[in-house]
Amino acid sequence: MNSLTQPEAGTQTTYYTLAESPLGSLLFMGDGVSLTGLHFAGHDHAPAIGEGWIEDRRQLAPAVRQLAEYFAGQRSSFDLRLDLRGTPFQLRVWEALLRIPWGETRSYREVALEIGRPSAYRAVGGAVGSNPVSIVVPCHRVIGAGGQLVGYGWGLDRKRWLLAHEGVHMDSREPRRSEPA
């Protein structure tokens, strides 16, 4: 299971590597111990490779391997250490996302209820959109209250693909859930 922790002060080195996926080239980022970012390379929301970043696939090999297994249909959960930078609210939302099982979805409202902030569903949407480790922290599993496909920084086509890969077909507008809305 993923372990989500706040980064320690003074950890500045960023390792990175690129790897291909069925949806495009992925940019993996880490600090030598944990995965700190996963983005589509060159996408508007992806960070630019910074001066001083070190390209080192070996540092990120477990994440690259596990994502390849996910895309090959051989993995439905991840076992990676994550160091994510965010507010306490964002961290609570991201932890809730980690609890959404493969093949299931939740609405923004359901996530807000889960974290004890029932009226904060719009703020939940902002936190979901700020997720620095997409797929591993499965923000693609969050949908609109009526079961509609809404909002995804990487584009709705990629979100639809990821959900279909996990067995959720949004065309039916009847996403699978473990509990009623």
Catalytic residue set: 139
CB atoms within 10 A of CB 101: 15
Give the burial class of 8: count Cβ atoms within 10 A of its Cβ; 0-12 exposed, 13-18 middle, 19 or more buried: exposed
| Closest C-alpha to 96, from 83, 109, 85 | 109
Give the burial class of 81: count Cβ atoms within 10 A of its Cβ; 0-12 exposed, 13-18 middle, 19 or more buried: middle
